[in-house]
Amino acid sequence: MNFLVEGFFQAFRLLVSGNSETYAAIAVTLKVSGYSIGCSLLIGIPFGFCLGYFDFSGKKTIRMLVDTLMALPTVFIGLLVYAFLTHRGPLGNFGLLFTLPGIAIGQTILALPIVVALSATAVENMDPKLRCAIMSMGASRRQLFLSSLWECRHGILAGALAAYGRVMTEVGISMMVGGNIKWHTRTITTAIALETNKGKFGMGVALGLVLMIIALGVNVSVSFFRRRN
């Protein structure tokens, strides 16, 4: 157990001293997760709104597919994205493999079903009388859309935070698509796996503590907005 205690002391020293390697992994993680969650929200919220708001043929099938995609393993997504981005793949000419945009593509695929499903659920739980009330005031389609989104904003935001937490803690996509390149594509999770395998428990514990703090903040935020919703 002594190595664990020593690891915590090393972690404290690394964080306080501003170790460049540690903070580089943190910066990469925040940057790539920001890219991916931004793209997933831009695509997922409108799609989730339509899925929850309108009734159409095949809606139940699409909803079941979206719910199934929420459980996709990150390693499987990483494998698919790697196959597309490698030089032998259809997108190989874009040079996205082992880059932050490449990781962001995989993480967007990971987060998108979560955003769509939870946004659709938030819209479905909206008061059905709201639409009639808004339309009776002569609102346009755009105003109807924005007003409905505002009404279920807490549920949508909770979904966004849940997706962000999922993206922050994944390792399979970052490892396979990013390549775990030091100073370039090494994220918190891949750095923890690498440094622990090398016996450097201090840096692994330091990054683990940062990840736990971020995950705790996301979970507290999700719980708060769920209560508000």
Provide DSSP, the chain. Answer: -HHHHHHHHHHHHHHHHT-HHHHHHHHHHHHHHHHHHHHHHHHHHHHHHHHHH---TTHHHHHHHHHHHTT--HHHHHHHHHHHHSTTSTTGGG--TTSHHHHHHHHHHHHHHHHHHHHHHHHHTS-THHHHHHHHTT--HHHHHHHHHHHTHHHHHHHHHHHHHHHHT--HHHHHHHTT-TTTT--HHHHHHHHHHTT-HHHHHHHHHHHHHHHHHHHHHHHHHHHH-
Does any domain span residue 38? yes
Does any domain span residue 135? yes
- Give pLDDT, residue 4: 67
Give the total number of structural domains in the chain. Answer: 1
Does any domain span residue 5? no
- Yes or no: say if 167 and 161 are a contact pair by the CB < 8 Å rule: no
Q: Token digits for 165? A: 């937490």
Selection from 153, 151, 157 nearest residue 133 by Cα: 151
Does any domain span residue 13? no
User: Rounded to whole angstroms, how far apart are CA atoms 125 and 11?
Assistant: 45
Does any domain span residue 102? yes
Q: Token digits for 176? A: 């396979």
For 43, 132, 171, 181, 207, the CA distances from 37, given in Å and listed in that order, are 10, 33, 16, 22, 21
The owner of tokens 């964080």 is 15
User: Rounded to whole angstroms, how far apart are CA atoms 106 and 112?
Assistant: 10
The owner of tokens 């404290």 is 12
- Give pLDDT, residue 42: 95
φ, ψ dihedrals at 170, nearest 5°: -80, 155
User: Rounded to whole angstroms, how far apart are CA atoms 215 and 117?
Assistant: 21
- Each residue's pLDDT, cut to its tens digit, for the chain (229 residues) gives 566 677 677 777 777 888 888 889 889 999 999 999 999 999 999 999 999 888 889 999 999 999 999 988 999 999 999 999 998 899 989 999 999 999 999 999 999 999 999 999 988 888 777 777 777 777 677 777 888 888 888 888 888 988 998 998 899 999 999 998 888 999 989 988 887 787 777 777 888 888 888 778 777 877 776 676 5
- Give pLDDT, residue 229: 56
Q: For residue 79, give the CATH number of its domain.
A: 1.10.3720.10
- Give pLDDT, residue 36: 96
- Give pLDDT, residue 15: 76
Does any domain span residue 69? yes
Does any domain span residue 128? yes
Does any domain span residue 12? no
Give the structural domain span for 195.
Answer: 25-228
Q: Token digits for 162? A: 């849940």
